[in-house]
Structure 1
């Protein structure tokens, strides 16, 4: 009985970790469905070599989150195997164990389909957005690639508060500030030399060339030299 209760506690923590990190990845601009899949992939050490994983490895904040998940996955995998072996060692316990799993999964399925989960996730997201720790983790918004005589190339991440969100390249008037958009990486889609009608989205990774001073002012960057 103790092992069964311990296993339920472990699975509850495991599922909470999945939901919590899915929220964090969503806050960096990933769709929640893709975020949840990548979190499960990282925790189970399967499927992370898919093309969608590039959405994580190419983003500094997502890489930090992924590294924490990888550490947790090693611990959780060892714990899960230990519990599973202990359960199977006793025939009576194993029958009860599988019965508990079925009931537990049924309850989780109902909970995930309810509107309550979304409300809880939104409240958690609001709390995280207001925390100083999240601002520190998610602080890097640009990387300087090369520069010469006041001009250079930057990789810039479009934040939620950036004025460019929802505007096209033409509407942004970047050219008037000596800033040229070279390409846009959306993680699962790479756009070379985007057309003037392209509309900027949250957490697009944009490669720009132009006046360094204007780039820093435009994107309110915390520069990584």
Structure 2
């Protein structure tokens, strides 16, 4: 009976994990990232990747994360206690089956497309009403349409942009807004359009995706090539 309890509890953990993944996806997180981060929080592994910032910067995702961490710690205690008393305890299997079936029903509900779309609208409305602007993730504040983009542009060695004035690079008629320029350890926001660009400068730009990619095509290609080289070296 004890081993049956453990088996059912593992099923319960899986269902809770899937519910958390679906809720994270509803908030706008990619499914693979949501699953990895949910497992990380449930097991208290604590991977310190850039993806974890997607959880920390989002108020709703943080609440889901807190629940997963607490549930994971509780489940670990249950497993240890169960294994140590597997031959002596009287397990309440019927009650556990009921709880597991209940969570299973919740999982089926969260996978319904109509309900998922409704939850997305509710979460988005909740974010607008309950949280200050600085608490919201960038995509909730800046991304109005699928064509919007917020990114960084590195002025690499040999770039045609080096030596040119930033005002000349970003034509006022184009939907490209330079929020600030990072030069070494210094972040320049006030009067950044008056700067003459230098190799190594990093521009943080926001605007139309096609316009940004068209204007900074060479720099973006160089950045992708550099990232590809770094990945290749890491694999070696």
Residue by residue, what CA displacement relative to the aligned partner does 1:171-206 show, whole Å, maximum 9, x if unpaired?
Answer: xxxx99xxx6738xxxxxxx962254437xxxxxxx
Is 1:194 aligned to residue 183 of structure 2?
no
Taking the aligned partners of 2:4 and 2:34, their CA distance within structure 1 comes to: 29
**Which of 155, 161, 164 pairs up with 2:144?**
164
Task: State the 1:28 CA deviation.
Answer: 1.4
Ranges in structure 1 where 5+ consecutive residues have no aligned partner: 91-119, 146-153, 170-174, 184-190, 200-225
Distance 1:123 1:41, change over 3 A: closer
Q: How many residues align?
A: 143
Within 5 A, what are the aligned runs for 1:96-111? none
Task: State the 1:77 CA deviation.
Answer: 1.1
- CA RMSD in angstroms, aligned pairs only: 3.8
- The 3-state SS of whatever aligns with 1:193 is strand
Taking the aligned partners of 2:66 and 2:125, their CA distance within structure 1 comes to: 14
Taking the aligned partners of 1:155 and 1:67, their CA distance within structure 2 comes to: 18
Q: Which residue of 1 aligns with 2:112?
A: 124
Q: Which residue of 2 aligns with 1:187?
A: none
Greater gyration radius: 2
Taking the aligned partners of 1:6 and 1:137, their CA distance within structure 2 comes to: 39
Taking the aligned partners of 1:46 and 1:127, their CA distance within structure 2 comes to: 31
Q: Which residue of 1 aligns with 2:132?
A: 143
Task: State the 1:50 CA deviation.
Answer: 2.9
Q: Which residue of 1 aligns with 2:54?
A: 55
Normalised to the residue count of structure 1, the TM-score between the two structures is 0.50
- Conservation of the 8 A alpha-carbon contact between 1:27 and 1:125: no
Ranges in structure 2 where 5+ consecutive residues have no aligned partner: 89-107, 150-171, 181-201, 211-236
Distance 1:125 1:66, change over 3 A: farther
Distance 1:164 1:127, change over 3 A: same
Normalised to the residue count of structure 2, the TM-score between the two structures is 0.48
- Structure 1 outlier segments of 4+, above 4 Å: 154-159
Distance 1:158 1:195, change over 3 A: closer
Q: 1 or 2, which has the higher strand percentage? A: 1
Distance 1:138 1:55, change over 3 A: farther
- Conservation of the 8 A alpha-carbon contact between 1:43 and 1:70: yes
